[in-house]
Amino acid sequence: MTLANRATPEGTRRYAERLQATIPREHFRSQQGLSMSTIGLGTYLGHWDERTDQMYQKAIERAIELGVNVIDSAINYRFQRSERAIGAALKRMFDSGKVARDCVIISTKGGFFPFDGEPPRDARRWIMENIIDRGVAGPGDIVGSHCMSPGYLEDQLARSLANLGLDAVDIYYIHNPETQLDAIARDEFLRRVRAAFEFLEEAVGRGRIGMYGTATWNGYRQPPGSRDYLSLEEMVEVARDLKGEDHHFRVIQLPYNLAMTEALMLENQTVDDHQTSLLMAAQRLGMTVMCSASILQSKLARNLPPFIGEALTGLDTDAQRAIQFVRSTPGVTTALVGMAQRSHVEENLKVARIPPAPIGDFFKLFSDDDSEGMKAEG
């Protein structure tokens, strides 16, 4: 395994420099040694059919042409079809020489049962035949439709690499690990996290992933004391206990947008006995933050309050303003946007042609009068 089979500092820098005639340098942020675009393409939404597969392939290719070098997926998205669409799009681009593997940062996730191509007629039977009977995981490892045991993650990573047509992914997330807290005590949860991290460190050593993280929905946005609350410091300590400061737990993903501002506004994390927000905690702990649901599955793509447009200038649509809000937030590296249509890619990537909003303009959104208006609209 060579570094050319993954994104590299030189490759991602070369990609950014190639676009500098039309895209300002502020569109790329240096994180974990890589130049990452402040807008990334997500692949969660859409029907499990050939038409949507083809739409995603065209959207991915166009996004890479227009300045996106962060592509995000999960094995369960559209029953493995999103990963396969990414793989097909990347193969065409690599084969044509339009982009090289070392320029593009590919992330995926494992944790939920993926099924295969479509919903099975009998989900229980599918789980028995594909998970339990094969010895991938035991019944005690499973909570609902979720599992993060080492054997299960080994199986899912291998499937993801085959789907993507890659030797390695750049970021591998445990998908919504807080799901396990629905059924197990916190000390057992941390034991399972440790076992998963140990496997992922080994996968880094074998060159199958570049770094790993946790992609969550609720965990990092909850108040301390909630059953599914996650402490980022606690998670980092698990990684440090395994590998010291050389650990590869370096990325987290959570929803953040105009309607879900907890990452910035809620001081629910503790670092060195100091209460702080998730974004500030991540900065102190050396973690990169990727934000999902940037336009909240299109709910923020229209009818935003006028004051948002007054603060976030130079944009034509509310979808663009919602994306600009996320990518302009201090501490955010990439705003992930689900885009299955080429036309949406072209509209949304107009945001990349201007720098993120200046800090003064960004914090105008949180003046007393305007923030109350935003809450009322929400």
319-337: per-residue pLDDT in tens? 999 999 999 999 999 999 9
**CATH (residue range 3-377):** 3.20.20.100
Type and span of the H or E element at 152: helix 150-164
Average pLDDT of the residues of the chain: 95
pLDDT classification of 5: cutoffs 50, 70, 90: very high
11-36: per-residue pLDDT in tens? 999 999 999 999 999 999 999 999 99
pLDDT of residue 367: 72
Contact by Cβ (8 Å): 239, 247: yes
Type and span of the H or E element at 39: strand 39-42
3-state SS of the chain: helix, strand, coil percent to 5? 50, 15, 35
pLDDT of residue 4: 61
pLDDT classification of 366: cutoffs 50, 70, 90: confident
pTM, 2 dp: 0.95
pLDDT classification of 374: cutoffs 50, 70, 90: very low
- The mean pLDDT value for 152-171 works out to 98
185-239: per-residue pLDDT in tens? 999 999 999 999 999 999 999 999 999 999 999 999 999 999 999 999 999 999 9
DSSP 227: T
How large a percentage of the chain has pLDDT more than 90?
Answer: 94
Closest CA to 283 of 254, 250, 256, 324: 250
Q: Is the pLDDT of residue 373 over 50?
A: no
